[in-house]
Amino acid sequence: MSKKISEIMLPDDLRYTEDHEWAKADADKVRIGVSDYAQNQLGEIVFVELPDPGATFEKGDEFGTLESVKAVSELYMPISGEILAINETLADEPELVNSEPYTGGWMIDIKPADPAEVDTLKNKDDYLEILKGL
């Protein structure tokens, strides 16, 4: 059952994209995942495909896919950077994307090409406005 917009969890300390990824800057890295809204729309996640550490991507590039019982959805880079680490736990526990989209269900850590790029992403309020328009 889909959540109402008012039930979607959107932490204040994250930045969001129109494609429903989130980004959290932390010292020299940025952690990336998908929003509570995205996982809710997809339904039960059964497989997560992620890139290899060391790969580099530009903002907007596809970096992986989420497979749910409903569909396969592409994952897009919110900012440019190099993959430092992937959440290997998701290989065995893809459902963490559903149950813990902001903690255990994170996707990748990247070294940003330009750390200031995070500031160009949507804040919680701006992202909420996008969701209300869907």
DSSP 88: T
Contacts of 122 (CB under 8 A, 6+ apart): 15, 16, 17, 18, 130
**Domain spans, the chain:** 14-117
Question: Domain 14-117 is in which class?
Answer: mainly beta
**Spatial CA neighbour of 40 closest among 79, 77, 78, 6:** 6
Distance CA 19, CA 38 (A): 8
* pLDDT value for 134: 87
Contacts of 26 (CB under 8 A, 6+ apart): none
Contacts of 40 (CB under 8 A, 6+ apart): 2, 3, 8
* pLDDT value for 31: 98
Residue 1 clears pLDDT 80, i.e. is over it? no
Angle made by CA atoms 62, 97, 107, in degrees to the nearest 5: 45
Q: Which two tokens stand for residue 12?
A: 């204040």
Q: What is the pLDDT of residues 30-78, one digit of tens each?
A: 999 999 999 999 999 999 999 999 999 999 999 999 999 999 999 999 9
* pLDDT value for 25: 96
Q: What is the pLDDT of residues 73-118, one digit of tens each?
A: 999 999 999 999 999 999 999 999 999 999 999 999 999 999 999 9
* pLDDT value for 2: 77
Number of Cβ within a 10 Å radius of residue 6 = 7
Section 21-29 average pLDDT:
95
